[in-house]
């Protein structure tokens, strides 16, 4: 596979070169009482002011005009969405087959389509999110490239063809979600709701494909690392961005095979010293990922 990261440069792309060079992944830091209190307060306001709102909002984020239905993760108030969309905009996805797991408003799926992906599946367990992502793809002229569906992780996605790139910005915190809207924030005790993400991603990824997953420095990084390892991935930090109270981290995961890893390291290293000249040569394919019956349908196995 040719290098995907064609131009990760600029002040917003704080690529953590030490981690990419093979240093250990960050460890979870134990949270003291003050930190826990801060987090409970942030969640209280985020939940009552944003997540649990009852009206549809129109917003602009990452260059898209997006409508955001009730219960759907708001891509403007929560900074992680635009940071990840910005990262995706720097990937060369021409001709790639991509899935965005936990798509919310669809912002990351739209960013992947804008970056040249031939076909993007926008999947979410929240049916309002699947509807919203479909609407937003249409409104932004990307409906030919984006198909939304309601799915618990990848369970409602056809097993073949495999994906070149799997994107996910899952809920960052463990703990029981209060309701559907809160599933954008909480993933259940011990990340119950997303624990199978990495195993499923490994099964659906082309041998030379890659996964980009965003977590937070406040996530249980030890547990998430174990889940990635168990699925047979090697993880590297592709981007880390601090918002002072926490950092957002994008891991690049590759199947544990040396050949796939080196091209990615080369791409990121060359991007640090200036724009890389990576050009995707993947041939276009007209194969569809989904059968019509799975599009925006409610999964039978959703929690």
Ligand X SMILES: C[S@@+](CC[C@H](N)C(=O)[O-])C[C@H]1O[C@@H](n2cnc3c(N)ncnc32)[C@H](O)[C@@H]1O
Q: Residue 103, interface with ligand X (CB under 6 A)?
A: yes
Q: Residue 73, interface with ligand X (CB under 6 A)?
A: yes
58 closest CA partner among 130, 139, 144: 139
User: Are the C-beta atoms of 136 and 122 separated by less than 8 Å?
Assistant: no
199 closest CA partner among 154, 261, 260: 154
Query: Least CB distance from residue 270 to ligand X, whole Å?
Result: 27
* Residue pointed to by tokens 């891991």: 251
What are the angstrom distances between the C-alpha of 48 and each of 104, 147, 160, 219? 18, 31, 40, 21
Neighbours of 97 (CB within 10 A): 22
Q: Residue 92, interface with ligand X (CB under 6 A)?
A: no
- Please say which residue, 175 or 261, places its beta carbon nearer to ligand X: 175
137 by DSSP, 3-state: which?
Answer: helix
87 closest CA partner among 274, 214, 263: 214
Q: Residue 127, interface with ligand X (CB under 6 A)?
A: no
* Residue pointed to by tokens 């001709």: 95
Query: Least CB distance from residue 196 to ligand X, whole Å?
Result: 8
Angle made by CA atoms 208, 145, 50, in degrees to the nearest 5: 95
Q: Residue 114, interface with ligand X (CB under 6 A)?
A: no
- Please say which residue, 183 or 234, places its beta carbon nearer to ligand X: 183
Q: Residue 26, interface with ligand X (CB under 6 A)?
A: no
- Please say which residue, 107 or 238, places its beta carbon nearer to ligand X: 107
Q: According to CB under 6 A, which one of 8, 13, 15, 125 is a site residue for ligand X?
A: 125
Binding mask 154-193 for ligand X (x = CB under 6 A): ---------------xxx-----------xx--------x
Of 1-9, 86-94, 97-105, 202-210, which part binds ligand X (CB under 6 A)? 97-105
**Residues near ligand X (CB under 6 A):** 73, 75, 80-81, 84, 101-105, 107-108, 124-126, 129, 152-153, 169-171, 183-184, 193-194
């Amino acid at each position: 596979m040719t290098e995907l990261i064609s131009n990760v440069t600029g002040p917003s792309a704080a690529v953590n070169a030490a981690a990419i060079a093979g240093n250990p992944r960050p460890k979870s830091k134990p949270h003291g009482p003050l930190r826990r209190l801060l987090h409970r307060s942030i969640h209280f306001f985020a939940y009552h002011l944003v997540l649990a709102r009852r009206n549809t909002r129109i917003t602009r984020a990452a260059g898209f005009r997006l409508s955001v239905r009730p219960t759907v993760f708001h891509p403007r108030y929560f900074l992680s969405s635009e940071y990840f969309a910005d990262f995706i905009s720097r990937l060369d996805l021409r001709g790639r087959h991509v899935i965005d797991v936990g798509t919310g408003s669809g912002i990351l799926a739209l960013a992947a389509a804008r970056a040249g992906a031939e076909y993007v599946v926008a999947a979410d367990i929240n049916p309002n999110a699947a509807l919203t992502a479909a609407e937003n793809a249409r409104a932004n002229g990307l409906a030919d490239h984006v198909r939304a569906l309601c799915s618990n992780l990848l369970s409602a996605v056809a097993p073949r063809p495999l994906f070149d790139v799997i994107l996910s910005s899952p809920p960052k915190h463990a703990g029981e979600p209060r309701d559907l809207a809160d599933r954008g924030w909480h993933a259940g005790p011990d990340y119950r709701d997303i624990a199978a993400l990495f195993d499923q991603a490994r099964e659906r990824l082309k041998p030379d494909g890659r996964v980009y997953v965003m977590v937070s420095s406040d996530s249980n990084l030890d547990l998430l690392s174990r889940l990635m390892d168990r699925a047979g991935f090697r993880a590297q930090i592709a981007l880390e961005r601090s918002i002072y109270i926490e950092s957002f981290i994008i891991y690049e995961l590759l199947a544990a095979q040396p050949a796939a890893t080196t091209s990615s390291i080369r791409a990121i290293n060359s991007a640090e010293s200036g724009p890389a000249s990576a050009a995707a040569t993947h041939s276009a394919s007209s194969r569809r990922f989904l059968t019509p019956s799975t599009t925006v349908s409610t999964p039978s196995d959703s929690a």
